[in-house]
Structures are given as C-alpha cells and as structure tokens.
C-alpha cells in the first residue's frame, strides 16, 4: 500500500504555513488574554481570568454581540441558502444567455465591502434612500423608516445586505453540485411522470446533501467572522444592536486599548464556534455517503 511518510508530505506545506502564520500568532493571542495590555508600551500586567470575567459585566457588549451574531447567522443563512439555491436552479434550466445571467447573479461577490456598504447605506437612508422612496411611491409610505437607525430593524437590514452579497457564493456551490447529478436520474424521474417541482424534491434536493453540509458549515463559521460588511454599514450601531463579536472585539482591542480583553473575547468566540463546527462536522459525516 502507501508508504508511511508520503501522506504527511502532501500536507506539509499547508501545515507549515498554517502553523506559522495562524496557529502560533493565535497562541500568542491566547497567552495575551491573561494579561492587561494597552497595545502600546511595555506595560503588561498579569491578570489571570479577569479579562474573561469582564466580558460578562456591565459595559461589556459581549453577550449582546453573541446574540446578534446568532441572529445574523440564522437570518443570513436563510437568505443565502434560499437565494443561492434558487439562482442555481434557475441557471440549471440553461436558458439562453445563461452565462450572462450567471455573471450578473454572481456580481455582488466581486465588489469589496466598501462599495457594498456605501451603496446599501444609501438604499436604506431615511430621507434620500431609494427603499423609502420606492415605498412612498407605491403608497406604502407608512412603512418607511430609518432602517439603519432603528434598533429594531438595523440588524435585519444588515442581514439582508449580507445575504444578498454572499448568495452568489452559495449559488456557485449549489450549481456545481447540481451539475454533478447524472442526467439519467432526471430522465427516469420524468418518464415516471414527475413535474419540475417533483424533480427538484426527489432528485436534486437529496443529491445536494453534500453541498448543503458544506454550505451550512461555511455559513456558520463565516457568520462569526463577519466584520467587514457590518463595520462598513453600521459599525455596530445603533446602540450596539448590530454589534457582532468581531466588531466588538476589534473595538475593545484597538479603540479601547484593551488588547488583553480583546484577546480573551477572541479566544471565547473561537472556542464557541469551534465546538459548533466540530459537532456539526462529525454529525454530518456519519450521514454522508449516498449510494446510487
């Protein structure tokens, strides 16, 4: 069979890079979480678990940011999955010019967060935004509100934008998954009298399981890393209603000069997400293979 050292050689470059650039600095962060440090100067003070305890006291928005993160995760998941899958299915019909449409569907992914945040801020803007403008134009002016200024709607507005932006990514994954399904299965389903919807439910959906598993995992981990877009759109405001863990820890570590506390938050967040991801990964693996 295969000689012992060979497999390790294959993963060596990846491992070396990963350990050197991510793991070791992360270990540094872990160590730092037990100290108080303002980020400058050499005044470092050991404080044990104090940084961890401080996350749950008044003035800390860690718990709120966790809650917001979970809402963000669920909301963006729904938007991204549904939208991404729908677009992939539509593309699968191979209408004319579908290559053009595929590019158009994917185009939000090409933009960096700056223009996306900028644009959507204008869309949601209370006085000069097109969302309120459109609502007023069709007589639903009473629904017009400061979407990003009202703590009740701000988070959902951001989730919608995030979902809009990343749907293209999931569309690609679903689309690739759909191409993997042998055409004969659709044929036999149609010969058995299945409609379009039937084909979708009984052929496409089950065979996309593998892709779903990936998508859920990516969505979940990505949701906790979410920073750029939220920072560009609301910066966690108003009143921390759109504060997620990543924005809060950056604020704490760099704007408040509490690097040790920020490190502790990062460690906690990493642990939480890691547990979730690991659980999900092993649960999904057990139900992985589909024979056909």
Partner 1 sequence: MSTNWHIPPERRRLARPAQRPVLARNIFLYTIVIAVSALMFFPMVWTFYSSLKTNPEIYANAWALPELPRFDNFAEAWRVGHLGRYVWNSIVCTSTSVLAIVAVASLAAFAFSRLMFRGRDLLFAMFLLGLIIPVQIVLIPLYSAMAQAGLQNTRTSVILPYIAWGLPLSIYILRAFFLTLPSELEDAARIDGCSTFGVFSRILLPLVKPGLATVTIFSSLSIWNEVLLAFVFLKDDSVKTLPLGLYAFYSYHITDLSLLFAALTVVTVPMIALFLIFQRQLIEGLTVGSLKG
Partner 2 sequence: MNRRIAVGASRAVHFMPALALVAFTACGGRGEHDATGEPSRIVLVMAHSTTGDPEKAELDRTVAEFEALHPDIAIKQNAIETNIYETIGLKSLFSGGTPPDVYSQWGKYLVGQYQEAGYAADLTDELEKDSWKDRFDPSVWTSATYKGRIYLIPTSIDLTSVIWYNKKIFEQNGLEPPTTWTEFMTICDTLKNNGIVPVCFGNRPLWPAANWAAHLISRVAGEQLYDDVLSMKPGTRFANDAFIKGLGMIEAMARSGYFNPGLNGVSDMEAIMLFFQGRAAIHPIGGWIINHAKKAAPEGFEYDAFKMPAIEDGAGDQTSILRLASGYMVYRDTRYFDEAVEFLRYLTSVDVAKRFVSRCGTFSSVQSAITEETADPHLLTLVSMHRSAHTVVTAPDVGYDRAKVLPFMDAVSLVIGGQKSAREALEQCDRAVAALR
Interface residues for partner 2 in 218-277 (CB under 8 A)? 234-235, 237-240, 250, 254-258
Q: Write each residue from 41 to 80 as x if it is in contact with partner 2 (CB under 8 A), else as -, in one continuous string.
A: xxxxxx-------x--xxxx--------------------
Those residues with Cβ within 8 angstroms of residue 146's Cβ, 6 or more apart along the chain or in another chain:
124, 126
Selected from 11, 15, 16, 143, the binder of partner 2 by CB under 8 A is 16
DSSP the chain: ---THHHHHHHHHHHHHHIIIIIHHHHHHHHHTTEE--SSSS--EE-TTHHHHHTTSTT--HHHHHHHHHHHHHHHHHHHHHHHHHHHHHHHT--TTHHHHHHHHHGGGGS-HHHHHHHHHHHH-TTT-HHHHHHHHTT-GGG---TTTSTTTHHHHHHHHHHHHHHHHHHHHHHHHHHTS-HHHHHHHHHTT--HHHHIIIIIHHHTHHHHHHHHHHHHHHHHH--HHHHHHTTT-STTTT--HHHHHHIIIIIS--HHHHHHHHHHHHHHHHHHHHHHHHHHHHT-----
Residue 108 near residue 165, CB atoms below 8 Å: yes
Among partner 2, partner 1, none, partner that 82 touches (CB below 5 to 8 angstroms by kind): none
Q: Is 38 in the site for partner 2 (CB under 8 A)?
A: yes
Question: Minimal distance in Å, beta carbon 158 to partner 2?
Answer: 10
Contact set for partner 1, span 263-282 (CB under 8 A): 263, 266, 269-270, 273-274, 277-278, 281
Q: Which two tokens stand for residue 184?
A: 């004969």
Q: Which does 190 bind (CB under 5 to 8 A by kind): partner 2, partner 1, none?
A: partner 1
Q: Which does 163 bind (CB under 5 to 8 A by kind): partner 1, partner 2, none?
A: none
Q: According to the binding rule CB under 8 A, does residue 4 interact with partner 1?
A: yes
* 267 close to 33: Cβ distance less than 8 angstroms: yes
Of the candidate residues 34, 52, 156, 186, the single one contacting partner 1 (CB under 8 A): 186
User: Using CA atoms in the order 121, 123, 124, 130, what is the torsion angle rounded to 10 degrees?
Assistant: 150
- Residue 24 or 140: the one with the smaller Cβ distance to partner 1 is 24
Binders of partner 2 among 93-122, rule CB under 8 A?
Answer: 121-122
Q: Which stretch binds partner 1 (CB under 8 A): 73-81, 138-146, 148-156, 168-176?
A: 168-176
Query: Does 208 engage in binding with partner 1 (CB under 8 A)?
Result: no
**Given 149, 214, 221, 280, the residue binding partner 2 (CB under 8 A):** 149
User: According to the binding rule CB under 8 A, does residue 142 interact with partner 1?
Assistant: no
- Using CB under 8 A as the binding rule, whether residue 261 contacts partner 1 is answered as no
* Interacting residue with partner 1 among 41, 95, 255, 286 (CB under 8 A): 95
Closest separation in Å from C-beta 136 to partner 1: 14
Is 22 one of the binding residues for partner 1 (CB under 8 A)?
yes
Q: Which of 225, 235, 256, 279 binds partner 1 (CB under 8 A)?
A: 225
């Amino acid at each position: 069979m295969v000689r012992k050292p060979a497999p390790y050689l294959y993963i060596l470059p990846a491992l070396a890079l990963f350990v050197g650039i991510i793991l070791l600095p992360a270990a540094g962060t872990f160590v730092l979480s037990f100290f108080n440090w303002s980020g400058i100067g050499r005044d470092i003070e050991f404080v044990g678990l104090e940084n961890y305890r401080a996350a749950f006291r008044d003035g800390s928005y860690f718990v709120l940011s966790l809650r917001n993160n979970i809402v963000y995760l669920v909301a963006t998941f729904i938007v991204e999955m549904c939208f991404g899958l729908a677009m992939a299915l539509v593309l699968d019909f191979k209408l004319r010019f579908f290559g053009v449409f595929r590019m158009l569907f994917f185009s939000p992914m090409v933009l960096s967060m700056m223009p996306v945040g900028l644009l959507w801020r204008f869309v949601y803007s209370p006085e000069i935004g097109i969302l309120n403008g459109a609502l007023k134009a069709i007589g639903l002016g009473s629904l017009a509100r400061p979407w990003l200024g009202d703590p009740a709607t701000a988070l959902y507005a951001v989730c919608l934008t995030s979902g809009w932006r990343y749907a293209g990514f999931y569309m690609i994954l679903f689309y690739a998954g759909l191409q993997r399904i042998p055409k004969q299965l659709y044929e036999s389903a149609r010969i058995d009298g299945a409609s379009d919807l039937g084909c979708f439910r009984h052929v496409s959906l089950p065979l996309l399981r593998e892709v779903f598993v990936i998508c859920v995992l990516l969505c979940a981990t990505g949701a906790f890393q979410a920073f750029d877009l939220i920072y560009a759109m609301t910066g966690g405001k108003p009143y921390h209603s759109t504060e997620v863990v990543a924005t809060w820890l950056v604020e704490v570590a760099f704007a408040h000069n509490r690097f040790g506390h920020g490190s502790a938050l990062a460690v906690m967040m990493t642990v939480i997400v890691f547990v979730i991801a690991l659980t999900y990964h092993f649960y999904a693996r057990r139900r992985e293979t589909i024979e056909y």
